[in-house]
Chain A
Amino acid sequence: MSRMLTFAKAVNEALFQAMSRDERVICYGLGVDDPKGIFGTTLGLKERFGAQRVFDMPTSENAMTGIGIGAALNGIRPVMMHQRLDFFLLALDQLVNNGAKWHYMFGGQASVPITIRLVVGQGWGQGPQHSQSLHAWLCHIPGLKVVMPFSPYDAKALLAASIEDDNPVVFIEHRWLHNTFGHVPEGPCRELLGKARVVRQGGDLTIVASSYMVLEALRCAEVLAAIGVDIEVVDVRTIHPLDTATILESVAKTGRLLVADGGWRNCGFAAEVLAVVTEQAFATLVCAPQRVTLADCPIPTSPVLAVDCYPDRRSMAERVCRMLATDPDFDKLFPPLETPRDVPDKSFTGPF
């Protein structure tokens, strides 16, 4: 496992391998066969697998979701993609009323093996309607699985598992992860859905995070390690159904819980994790569990307004230190970044 690959390329490889392995897999969505190929994730698929299995679609998010569900009911395994989660809100009727219900409401006689890829935007002025991470809504629905990978390896392994799963799976990719690198094996790989992973061992405090927040949590942990704070980071990976066992086990060890979530606070994913831990492991907590989330406002467009709406390594560290009753010099721990805070890294040139 020595090969380094970007998250986007890992997604692309998972799609190639799934389509090669199983001719029932189809891929569609606005722009899957355009020159940009959904941030590079769908490049080459149409050339390799043909227009019957890889196709652009009308700008009809709701019907095209239902059409995928209908095809899935007759044995096709669609992978549908949207360049922003925000666009997919039009399709909630089909996802919630049909996709999530069909297996249940007909007594288990049929199933809907559809995978829906959604991309969450951030920075570069994405603004109120291109930046929403509404994953918590989807976790509210029985019958759906919701996956939010952080590492390129998980992007490949969990997407493969999502496509092979016989249930509707929403696979959420943070735009700032697409260009991150990680070890990814060349051959097919899979990881079980519904399992969290401890991505950093530590004894003082547990940060539970998913998707891009895992990267910020790891950076926070790295910085705080320098002042002797030992953080454990749990990458939730599948946020619904939730692997409560792994989270509870970590909190039992550290006694402190911070949840870092890229969604809003009210009735959000972080609230659910806090509730599970306080209900089931109250006695193991040595201080009140905490959360860092998006500021409770739509994300504004101006970079000056937007950057502080997001939880990041520093806001996590500030909260961690309060929980541990230490008060380091945060300006010294977190000197200004070389790159502007509204882009993920130097390689990013916009516009979306």
Chain B
Amino acid sequence: MDEKAAVELLRRMKRIRMAEEAIAERYSEWKMRCPTHLCIGQEVAGAAVGLALRGDDMVVSTHRSHGHYLGKGGSLERMIAELYGKASGCSGGKGGSMHMIDLAAGFVGSTAIVGGTIPIGVGLGLSFAIKGTDQVSCIFFGDGAVEEGVFYESANFAALRKLPVLFVCENNLYSVYSNIRSRQPAGRAIHRMVGAMGMETRHGDGNDAVAVHEELQEVVAGIRAGNGPCFLELDTYRWREHCGPNYDNDLGYRSEAEFLAWKAKDPIPQLCERLLAKGVLTAAAVAAMEAAIAEEVEQAFAFAEAAPFPPPEAASAHLYKESPCREC
């Protein structure tokens, strides 16, 4: 992998991790008053996809979207301000953690209904096909979303029309507290099932950032060349509770041992050590990278704290877009 790209991959993952750790640390201040789903442990997908895509490619995502948003280049300050419910939040305080947008970065939106943005992403792909551009649409979702009917409907249409769509399924084994084995039959591999629908599929280790990025380079190039959609399943694990800043292994829906086994595969030190060993990065360079991110995170929180709340009357704004009235 290109050294510069590898360093950028590490930086994006660290930025996601450090921003979310700061959210977790401050969540109990009760200033971020919205359901917040952290992706700590799952940073590879957002960082690697964001790096593999072009600025004008478009992404849609789920309730657990901080990593996807930041990975694509979304504004950190506006993300934190959105969690604070501020007017300068990325959605003006209307959305919160589960409804983020940064159109300048090509992040078209994340929503809170499982599977809800899958057809939206396919529709973006359809718009590229109609307009004849070579943009790619990327849809993030989890293993639970492939249990929704809308997934099959959307994948079918993407395959039928060979649309430029990248489906990224982060399989973290749990839908809230329900293990995949109580939801899908034993022996099923999601990517193989989807392959039977007539779509190219890949399967990767969601903790191996370099391998995922390399896979993505190839996959995105293929989609851009007009080969049709591709489905990428990544094995990964959510470290913290489904929703909120804490750990929840004490609930008993999964074992501490399972968590520790996944945590040992932490993708960030894996990549960092690899780059140190190869001499691509020095310890001092890593420290400088971390210091710069810490500074940015600190500034983002300061921005969010200082930002004004929207006025109460904003609650009834943006109900409809004002349409220009054409003359007959």
Contact = CB atoms under 8 A, between A and B. Distances in A.
Contact of A106 (B94, B123, B130): B94
Contact of A71 (B124, B153, B154): B124
Contacts of A97: 111, 113, 116
Nearest to A114: B123
B176 interface: no
B149 A62 contact: yes
B319 A143 contact: yes
Interface string A87-125: 000000110011000111111111100000000000000
Interface string A128-169: 000000000000001101000000000000000000111100
A60 B323 contact: no
A53 to B, nearest CB: 7
A62 B127 contact: no
B160 interface: yes
Nearest to A142: B319
Contacts, number: 157
Contacts of B204: none
B172 to A, nearest CB: 23
Contact of A109 (B103, B126, B323): B103
Interface string A25-53: 01000000000000000000000000011
B4 interface: no
A58 B90 CA distance: 35
B32 interface: no
A109 B103 CA distance: 8
B228 interface: no
B127 A70 contact: yes
- Could you say which interface size class chain A belongs to? 35 or more
Given A64-B153, A66-B120, A75-B127, A107 B320 contact: no
Interface string B106-133: 0011010100111111111111101100
A283 B122 CA distance: 54
- Could you say which interface size class chain B belongs to? 35 or more
B95 A107 contact: yes
Contacts of B120: 66-67, 69-70, 73, 98
A189 B119 contact: no
A117 to B, nearest CB: 18
B58 interface: yes
B247 interface: no
Given A63-B118, A66-B123, A166-B321, A58 B91 contact: no
B123 A73 contact: yes
Given A65-B119, A73-B120, A109-B103, A104 B94 contact: yes
A104 B113 contact: no
Contacts of A110: 101, 103, 108-109
A188 interface: yes
Contact of B317 (A94, A105, A108): A108
A63 B157 contact: yes
B54 to A, nearest CB: 15
A19 interface: no
A190 interface: yes
Nearest to B126: A71
Q: Which of B58, B118, B125, B321 has the most CB of A within 10 A?
A: B321
8 contacts: A62-B153, A63-B153, A69-B119, A106-B91, A106-B109, A109-B91, A164-B326, A165-B323
Given A105-B94, A106-B101, 7 more contacts: A66-B120, A67-B126, A71-B124, A71-B126, A93-B150, A107-B89, A192-B325
Interface of A: 26, 52-53, 57-58, 60, 62-76, 93-94, 97-98, 102-111, 142-143, 145, 164-167, 187-190, 192
